[in-house]
Every structure is written in structure tokens, then in C-alpha cells.
């Protein structure tokens, strides 16, 4: 059996539903120590993190990812037990096969091959692994980044193994992600009997014109790498449940997915301007879920792209679409951050799977990228 498949099976078999690691990182550490990596566990609460480094020179190439997986959903709907890795034809099935234990297996196989061929390579190689990516992401990668920042340790190139490909292996690199800004808005009115509206002020009616303007606003035009910023309501609630009562307030939860063409402060100010212009009485609380980050074309994008062309015969497109990833934390201490992994069509689904050939090509891509960045 190809060793990357063996490693993927080993990891999938561990029931590491977030925030559990289920021994994945200890198993990785046991494989990395003989290669000369210094192992540094970083545990916070229920979350297990791993920082491992080989070498002390520059540049530092870091492989980043997560060992936690999402819950399985109804077991009876799976074709195979989700924690019994099963190969059928050219597919390996199991929870985490694509997101992202397959990538971690490819990291390991690539690093083993690279170190065997270049035991005295220049620069350094590191691993940053967490069990809190699929959860709240409070005690995971961000804690490791804080520790590294406190001692002045930075990363030159970081490869995050998230499943990025849309249709076929190699078609997409993620060279950035949009930011996520949540707002919780409570518009105040005056509660009253629905038959006597002149004695009340309906907050839903009052808020409606402002909502229409917020929806119609062009927040920015995006840029070369990002689509325009979007504003969406995710929840809205008003009323007591009775059919004859005008509510006293309406609660609205909304979200911006924003590009580097906008700032948090700018978006917040524009929302308040619209609400004030409509004469609303309101309370508004904000929560920044993620800052946007971007790695323009440079050493890392070019090295990965060349490796993908050589291994898969595909020219990858650059993309910043999708949700958030831990790249948003790593970008604080890393010069260049790019995500690349297998096809993402089955992630978080019943019968999650990854192509056996994908894992073999992914190993080759990671090895070639190491060779390019460390110039061996």
C-alpha cells in the first residue's frame, strides 16, 4: 500500500470529532521526531495543538491543518462506517478523508521523502496542527500563533491543507479569504394593540426602509483577487407571538463577507449612517469573526502552481471564495499563506471521500513545493 494511503487510513480511524484529537497529533509526533523535528504540544482547555520544527534557519516553510472533523450525521446513511477507512475502487471513504486528514497524510509522506533525499536541507520546516478548526476556533491555531508571536517567531511560507479544488484535482488555489463581520441590531419601537396603531410605533415597519437601503448598498467593487463585499441578514425576529400585538422591538442579525477593499471601521460607520438617516432608535453590537487576508502572486503561489502543473498537468486558478479558515490567524505572523488540498465536493457530507490518486499527486505537489522554496 502506498504510504500516503496508509497514513490517511491511520488518521481517519481515530474518532477526532471536534474538539477531540483522539491521538492523531501524538501519532504524528512519533513520526516526526525521528526526522529531527522538535515537538512542542500546545494544549488549551479541551483543545490539542502541535507545533513541530526542523531546523533554525530561513526560510521557514510551514504545513498547517487540523485533525478535528465534523460530526458524522446519521450513521445509517453512510455506506461504510465513517471511522473505518474503506477503499472502494479509486476512493477512500471516511470522515475527514478530504477535510483534512488526507492532506495531513500527504504532508507527512512528502516531508519524509524530502528529508530522506535532503537531510541537510537549508532553511526550516514546521508543522502547525490543531483540533479546533471545525469548532469555535478559540483555543486552536490562534493560541499557537500567539505563542510564536510572543517569542518573535515568524513564518515565511505557510501551506494550509484545506480541500480547495472545485471540480478536479489541481484546479484551485486559495490565496486569501474574505473577512466576516457580524452585527446584532435591535430596533426599538412602541408596543401596542394592533387595532390602535396610532398609539404604537411598529419597529418592523420603521426598520424596513433601512433594511432595503442596506440591501441595495454597494459596499465596494472588490479588487483583482476578491469579489465585492456582501451584506446579508441571517435572522430576524419581532413580536410576542400574538396576532393582535404590535411588537416593541425587532432583532436583526446580519453579516458582512468583506474584501480587502473595505475596512471593519468603514463598514461599521456606513451602517450607522444609514440607520441614523432613517431616524431609528437602536442598539447595535458587532463581532469580528475573521479579518480578510491576501497573498498576492509571489514565491509561494508560483511554487505551488508549478508543482501542480508538473504533478497533475493542470493550471490552478487563484480564488478567495468560501468561508473562513485558520489561514486568517496564521497570516498575522506569516509572509505568505496559501491553501491547497484535494477536491472539496464531499466535505462535511455523508460518505465523505477522497481520490486515492489525488492523495498520491498531493504528496508529490507538497514535496515539489518544498524543493522549490528551500531551493534544493
Contact 291, 324 (CB under 8 A): no
Q: Has 20 been annotated as catalytic?
A: no
**Residues with Cβ < 8 Å from 265, sequence gap 6 or more?**
none
Q: Which of 20, 133, 336, 371 is catalytic?
A: 133
Return the pLDDT at 1. Answer: 62
Tell me which of 20, 21, 68, 364 is the catalytic residue: 68
Tens-of-pLDDT digits for all 376 residues of the chain?
Answer: 699 999 999 999 999 999 999 999 999 999 999 999 999 999 999 999 999 999 999 999 999 999 999 999 999 999 999 999 999 999 999 999 999 999 999 999 999 999 999 999 999 999 999 999 999 999 999 999 999 999 999 999 999 999 999 999 999 999 999 999 999 999 999 999 999 999 999 999 999 999 999 999 999 999 999 999 999 999 999 999 999 999 999 999 999 999 999 999 999 999 999 999 999 999 999 999 999 999 999 999 999 999 999 999 999 999 998 888 999 999 999 999 999 999 999 999 999 999 999 999 999 999 999 999 999 9
CA distance to 177, 238, 265, 285, 355, per residue, from 253 (Å): 22, 12, 18, 10, 39
> Is position 221 annotated as part of the catalytic site?
no
DSSP string, 52-82: EEE-SSSPEEEEEEE--B-----GGG-SS-T
14, HSE (Cβ side, Cα atoms, 13 Å): 23
Cis status, amide bond into 100, omega within 30 of 0: yes
Amino acid at each position: 500500500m502506498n504510504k500516503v494511503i496508509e497514513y490517511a487510513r491511520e488518521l481517519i480511524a481515530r474518532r477526532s470529532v471536534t474538539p477531540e484529537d483522539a491521538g492523531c497529533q501524538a501519532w504524528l509526533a512519533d513520526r516526526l521526531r525521528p526526522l529531527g523535528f522538535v515537538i512542542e504540544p500546545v494544549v488549551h482547555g479541551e483543545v490539542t495543538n502541535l507545533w513541530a520544527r526542523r531546523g533554525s534557519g530561513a526560510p521557514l516553510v510551514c504545513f498547517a491543518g487540523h485533525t478535528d472533523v465534523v460530526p458524522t450525521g446519521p450513521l445509517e446513511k453512510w455506506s461504510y462506517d465513517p471511522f473505518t477507512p474503506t477503499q472502494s475502487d479509486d476512493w477512500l471513504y471516511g470522515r475527514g478523508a478530504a477535510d483534512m486528514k488526507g492532506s495531513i497524510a500527504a504532508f507527512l509522506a512528502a516531508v519524509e521523502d524530502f528529508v530522506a533525499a535532503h537531510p541537510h536541507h537549508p532553511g526550516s520546516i514546521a508543522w502547525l496542527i490543531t483540533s479546533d478548526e471545525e469548532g469555535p476556533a478559540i483555543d486552536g491555531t490562534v493560541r499557537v500563533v500567539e505563542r510564536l508571536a510572543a517569542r518573535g517567531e515568524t513564518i515565511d511560507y505557510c501551506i494550509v491543507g484545506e480541500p480547495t479544488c472545485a471540480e478536479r484535482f489541481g484546479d484551485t488555489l486559495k490565496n486569501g479569504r474574505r473577512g466576516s463581520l457580524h452585527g446584532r441590531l435591535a430596533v426599538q419601537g412602541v408596543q401596542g394593540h394592533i387595532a390602535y396603531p396610532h398609539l404604537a410605533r411598529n419597529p418592523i415597519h420603521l426598520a424596513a426602509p433601512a433594511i432595503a437601503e442596506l440591501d441595495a448598498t454597494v459596499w465596494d467593487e472588490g479588487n483583482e483577487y476578491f469579489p465585492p463585499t456582501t451584506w446579508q441578514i441571517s435572522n430576524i425576529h419581532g413580536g410576542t407571538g400574538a396576532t393582535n400585538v404590535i411588537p416593541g422591538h425587532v432583532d436583526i442579525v446580519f453579516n458582512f463577507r468583506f474584501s480587502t477593499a473595505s475596512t471593519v471601521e468603514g463598514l461599521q460607520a456606513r451602517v450607522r449612517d444609514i440607520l441614523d438617516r432613517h431616524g431609528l432608535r437602536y442598539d447595535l453590537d458587532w463581532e469580528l469573526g475573521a479579518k480578510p487576508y491576501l497573498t498576492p502572486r509571489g514565491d509561494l503561489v508560483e511554487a505551488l502552481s508549478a508543482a501542480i502543473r508538473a504533478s497533475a498537468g493542470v493550471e490552478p486558478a487563484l480564488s478567495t471564495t468560501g468561508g473562513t479558515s485558520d489561514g486568517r490567524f496564521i497570516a498575522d505572523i506569516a509572509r505568505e499563506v496559501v491553501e491547497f488540498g484535494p477536491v472539496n465536493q464531499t466535505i462535511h457530507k455523508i460518505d465523505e471521500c477522497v481520490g486515492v490518486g489525488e492523495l498520491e499527486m498531493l504528496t508529490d505537489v507538497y514535496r515539489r513545493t518544498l524543493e522549490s522554496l528551500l531551493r534544493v
